[in-house]
Structure 1
Amino acid sequence: MEPLLDGTILVPNPLPAFAARRRLLHVNGVSSDRAKQQRDLNRLAELTAAHPLEIRGIHNQTHGLQADLLESLLGKAELYHFWPTVENNDRAGDRRRAYAKLLEQLITKELGDDADMLAIAQPKEVQHRPLTPETPAAISSLLALPFLQRLGWSDFAQYLYGVFPAGAPRPTLRLAYEIVKGLQAGAELYLVAHSQGLIITALACHIVRELLLPQTKWMETVHIIGYGPVILFADLPVELQGRTIFLQHRQDVVAETLSNLRNLDVWTNLQTQLQKALHYADDLLQTVHTDSHHTASFYLGLSPEAASQRSAQLLQILLTQNWTATPSLAALCGSRLILEH
């Protein structure tokens, strides 16, 4: 059996010396295995060598691109229901508070880097990762069940994920845990994520915000950097939207398509919506394989293209310079920077 990697911690190899009060938490995106995230962490260590941070990678385990895309769609649906303008927001608030209670239990423990977050958070309701390579076929068969027609989003999420966050629950809870532990250590936090990793990051930030309310000053020590972003600023807690910068290539079709997915509250007919999601995932499967502009390696400067090198230079600046003390960086906060050729 493949060892559980979902939500476990990876670090750069070799491990560089770092400043204890600056911490980078990285979440990988779709179709990224352990080797790819290890490469990305090593590259981030190279880019920040002059001003090193403690770098910890939260691994978002892939089970195939189609399953990852379905996870992304479900995670985005969860995020959409956290928007204050969405109807029935009380139900979403109930789910968010339930996740915060799980996190409250977790942060009382010193967890190993390979801890299974779900088993520790709720041992009586341990669920394996809901989406697997067989998920599309499994969901297709579920669509025939008459009771699904009567479920709204909250009930559907409860059915599929139980007490855990929708999308990718293990890395979501692990990142939320790492954020709180970083805050407790007095660290300045850089949340760096690619593709689906930004969905996980946004969900984790909502959970931490819910746990720490009414305190919000902690968010002044958090910076979010997303490359190949698949979320909107509105998906983040409002206090963090102005502390976030996205990097996106103009020809990154996947980021453009998934970022603009909204109105994911239309779950009144789940059969139709999920069938569309499965078809959509199949279409994007072909797109991602040919879209080099969405890959993490492109944004991290591992491609010879000029835009790839500029992206890496921007990331280096964002990770090594003080955003508040540098007017040009302060002006970029809350912006989606579009890379050209």
Structure 2
Amino acid sequence: MLTEQQQDGHLLYYGPAKPKGLPRRLIHVNGMASDVKKQLRDLEALVWMTVEHPTDIVGVHNSTANFQSDLLESTLGGADLVQHRADRQTPESQKRLRGYADSLQALCDHELPSDADILAAVQRLQRSLTVAEGQEKAQSPIDLELIRRLPFLQDMDLSALESYLYGSYPAGAPRPTMRTAYEIIRAIRAGAEVLLVAHSQGTIITAVALHIVKQLLGGEVWAKSLRFVGYGPVILFDDLPMEMRSQTILIQHRQDLIAESFSNQRNVDLWNNMQTQAKNLLEQADRIFQMVSRDSHHSASVYLGLTGDIAGDRSAQLIKQLLTENWENHPFIQGLRASRIILEEPETYIQP
């Protein structure tokens, strides 16, 4: 039986509802501290939400090692994501993004099994690719304490750290990111309507994947068949490719302090002193973990209506509507596009 880490980037299915090649495909990416059991629970909830609207549903698994590792992966992934914004791009970040797209292109002409190690597949398909030390390190969960002790950390900027840890792969969660991008491309090529649904760290993974897809496909029509619903989001609309912003709706409970705090962490300049930033993460990890433990409003189970409380039922009803209605001609949904919906008790506030 595979371990949690060995299933990183694998496709998961709710057993009785395996894909059948339907014209609607839902890709779910889970968030921090969500193991396989929780991901399968969430997939089952999504299956029942869409049961009257036949949809192929798959989960791209973002494995969890421990909370500190998940926290660092989210922070590195978020920092990588910010560099793809039009106002923050540099020659180095553009080069990395082209590298991600080149790797994706090598994959997309091949049918990958659901349990493929997607980084190993890239290496097999690109024999000329030099496997850097960072690519070897990407095989294992990131050890935040080890990073803090690196003697040369204070001399590294963000790009240098990403290259050291991840080689030419996306920072943070490279396997789920590349798998999500691969699944998006395959679904687009199949002519499917693609519903992207992501929670917490999964919204970072999905946003980076969308930048990779845009880099590969180019043009302005690549996003036409895509819809993105992020719940408990830790991204901003500025983090998304321009073409995806009107195709996206973000849902956040007002009491979701994790989504609120992570969405506001956008100062990449903090990474100029890597050792200080790693130390700060270590100091904050326990506090944030305690916040997550207390803050049930951030959990996927609440957003998907699995806890039986009013807040969860309301968000689940909204998610269900977004997954089953036609975005193009539904007046209510038309008004929600490109919005971050803040769910309050007892009212809902739409933040443009």
Q: Aligned to 1:318, which of 316, 322, 329? A: 322
Question: What are the Cα deviations for residues 87-132 of structure 1, in whole angstroms up to 9, with x where unaligned?
Answer: x622111100000000011112110000001111125635354663
In 1: Cα distance, 2:140 partner to 2:290 partner? 19
Equivalent residue for 1:135, pick from 136, 143, 166 = 143
Task: Kindly state the Cα deviation for residue 216 of structure 1 after the two structures are TM-superposed.
Answer: 2.6
Pairing 1:225–2:229 present: yes
Partner SS state of residue 84, structure 2:
coil
* In structure 2, C-alpha distance between the alignment counterparts of 1:130 and 1:149, rounded to whole Å: 24
Residue 67 of structure 1 pairs with residue 75 of structure 2 = no
Aligned to 1:155: 160
Work out the CA distance in 2 between the residues paired with 1:121 and 1:19: 25
Aligned to 2:349: none
The amino acid that maps onto 1:198 is T
**2:203 match: secondary structure:** helix
| One of 262, 271, 279 as aligned partner of 1:275 | 279
Deviates further, 266-275 or 297-306 = 266-275
TM-score, structure 2 as length reference:
0.91
- CA deviation after TM superposition for structure 1 residue 55, in Å: 0.3
Structure 2 residue aligned with 1:56, among 58, 69, 78? 58
**For the residues of structure 1 that align with 2:220 and 2:23, how far apart are their CA atoms?**
20
Q: Please say if 1:47 is aligned against 2:49.
A: yes
SS of 1:285's equivalent in the other structure is helix
1:101·1:211 contact (CA, 8 Å) conserved in 2?
yes
Percent identity reads 47
User: How far apart are residue 278 of structure 1 and its match?
Assistant: 2.3
Moved more, 122-131 or 148-157: 122-131
Structure 2 gap segments, 5+ residues each:
125-129, 346-352
Q: Is the 8 A contact 1:81 1:265 kept in 2?
A: no
Q: Which amino acid aligns with 2:33?
A: S
**Structure 1 residues 218 and 28, CA gap change in structure 2 (3 angstroms):** same
- Aligned pair 1:328/2:332, yes or no? yes
1:33/1:61 contact within 8 Å kept: yes
Q: CA deviation at 1:12?
A: 1.6
* CA shift in 2, pair 1:17/1:165, >3 Å: closer
TM-score (norm 1): 0.94
Q: How many residues align?
A: 335
> Counterpart in 2 of 1:113?
114
Q: In the TM superposition, what whole-angstrom CA distance separates every residue of 1:266-297 from its partner, at most 9, and x where no partner exists?
A: 32211112212222223211111111100000
Matched residue, 2:183: 178
| 1:210 alignment partner, one of 212, 215, 225 | 215
User: Does structure 1 retain, via aligned residues, the 8 Å contact 2:77–2:204?
Assistant: yes
CA distance in 2 between partners of 1:131 and 1:197 (Å) = 19
CA distance in 1, matches of 2:191, 2:293: 41
CA distance in 2, matches of 1:89, 1:128: 25
Distance 1:17 1:177, change over 3 A: closer
Assess if the C-alpha contact under 8 Å between 1:18 and 1:52 holds in 2. no
SS in 2 for 1:101: helix
Contact 2:200 2:234 in 1 (8 A): yes
Q: In structure 1, how many angstroms separate the alpha carbons of the residues matched to 2:302 and 2:343?
A: 11
Q: Which one-letter code corresponds to 1:34 in the other structure? A: V
Out of 251, 276, 280, the residue aligned to residue 247 of structure 1 is 251
Counterpart secondary structure, 2:235: coil
| 8 A Cα contact 1:11 1:55, kept in partner | yes
Q: Is the 8 A contact 1:299 1:308 kept in 2?
A: yes
Contact 1:130/1:160, CA 8 A, preserved across alignment: no
Matches of 1:114 and 1:65, distance apart in 2 = 24
2:307 aligns with 303
Describe how 1:2-13 pairs up with structure 2 within 5 A.
2=3, 4-13=6-15
Q: What is the CA–CA distance in structure 2 between the aligned matches of 1:79 and 1:71, rounded to whole Å?
A: 12
**Shift in CA distance, 338/19, structure 1 to aligned 2, threshold 3 Å:** farther
1:20 maps to which residue?
22
Structure 1, unmatched stretches of 5+, are none
One-letter amino acid of the structure 2 residue matched with residue 253 of structure 1: L
1:71·1:131 contact (CA, 8 Å) conserved in 2? no
Greater displacement, 215-224 / 115-124? 115-124
Equivalent pair of 1:73/1:167 in contact (CA under 8 Å) = yes
1:17, CA displacement in angstroms? 7.8
Give, in whole Å, the separation in 2 of the partners of 1:104 and 1:18.
25
- Decide which moves more: 98-107 or 77-86: 77-86
